[in-house]
Structure 1
């Protein structure tokens, strides 16, 4: 039986995912914060991990390396409500096997968990440039990742007030509407 550890601070979503995936043959365990996630990984020894990118005040990206070091063969999928190309690339670079934007349907989730081949970060590229707002969002996410999720340092690097950056980070990513 496949063992799945769900590290997600939204308890309702975590329970929903566990119910859906238990029906698909997974033995599921849930935890709702970063430190318990690492502890549960050691105790439960999962074959698969669903990891939220934003776990309360922690950045899920920082958990990828320690989880991967302890469980090198685990199939790890990062879930996020704040999808961007920069964080997708960073997640894969750090060792996640896949990256999915919330909400995610059961079949997409099962495909990501079952994937044997290392997935590529998929993005639709066209000749049209990204909109200025989307470019700003991507840039902020990249600088934030480069600063290990440190909002204050990221604000300094970007030359903006910390509160302004926090407000921008709380917003959903700007739709990928390309300029004409």
Structure 2
């Protein structure tokens, strides 16, 4: 795959990786450098914004939840300085509502962890209307339900009573669902 990546990369190969998982960032940076990217890394929103403002990257991979805030702030900073940048939002807390928010502010794609360097590279380099290949492990019906409930919860500004009313569900049942981890 690295040979085909080099062919798709343009003259600007800058890639900004923003994630607070230090070991993940190091591994991903090495893998992306092998694919021909010129990699910069940051572990906080503040550092990511500063790097984006100083040297707007052609490509970026940004974690949604960082120790000092929301990765979407970094995406906005990149978009302010460079509207042709290809940005992939990466998170371990995949929810449809956050994916929609990420795409609305300019992210090219949204991937849930664990995503490997091949998945990330494919998302960064997919052009135009091309759809990425279907996932190897699509969401289960339970996961789709969980995603829908969380989307409505986010749209109701995290108001449990209002969300329960809109979903025609008992408030305590909803609280139990929200307290659990997402199904696979």
TM-score norm. by structure 2 comes to: 0.71
Aligned residues: 159
State the secondary structure of the residue aligned to 2:87: strand
Residue 76 of structure 1 contacts residue 98 of structure 1 at CA under 8 Å; is this kept in 2?
yes
Match of 1:135 in 2: 145
Q: Show the 5 A alignment for 1:99-110.
A: 99-110=110-121
Instruction: Give deviations 1:8-59, integer Å, cap 9, x for gaps.
Output: 1111111111000001111111111111111011222211110001112522
Structure 1: gaps spanning 5 or more residues: 148-152, 176-180
Residue 123 of structure 2 contacts residue 132 of structure 2 at CA under 8 Å; is this kept in 1?
no
Closer, same or farther: CA 23–136 of 1 in aligned 2, 3 Å:
closer
Q: Does residue 37 in structure 1 map to residue 41 in structure 2?
A: no
Closer, same or farther: CA 168–56 of 1 in aligned 2, 3 Å:
farther
State the secondary structure of the residue aligned to 2:153: helix
* From 149, 154, 158, the counterpart of 1:154: 158
Q: How far apart, in 2, do the equivalents of 1:111 and 1:21 lie?
A: 12
TM-score norm. by structure 1 comes to: 0.72
Residue 96 of structure 2 contacts residue 147 of structure 2 at CA under 8 Å; is this kept in 1?
no
Match of 2:100 in 1: 89
Q: Does residue 27 in structure 1 map to residue 38 in structure 2?
A: yes
Q: How far apart, in 2, do the equivalents of 1:7 and 1:23 lie?
A: 18
Instruction: Give deviations 1:45-76, integer Å, cap 9, x for gaps.
Output: 21111000111252223433332122211110
Instruction: Give deviations 1:83-124, integer Å, cap 9, x for gaps.
Output: 233322222122100111111122222111112215669989
Greater C-alpha radius of gyration: 2
Closer, same or farther: CA 63–118 of 1 in aligned 2, 3 Å:
farther
Q: How far apart, in 2, do the equivalents of 1:139 and 1:25 lie?
A: 41
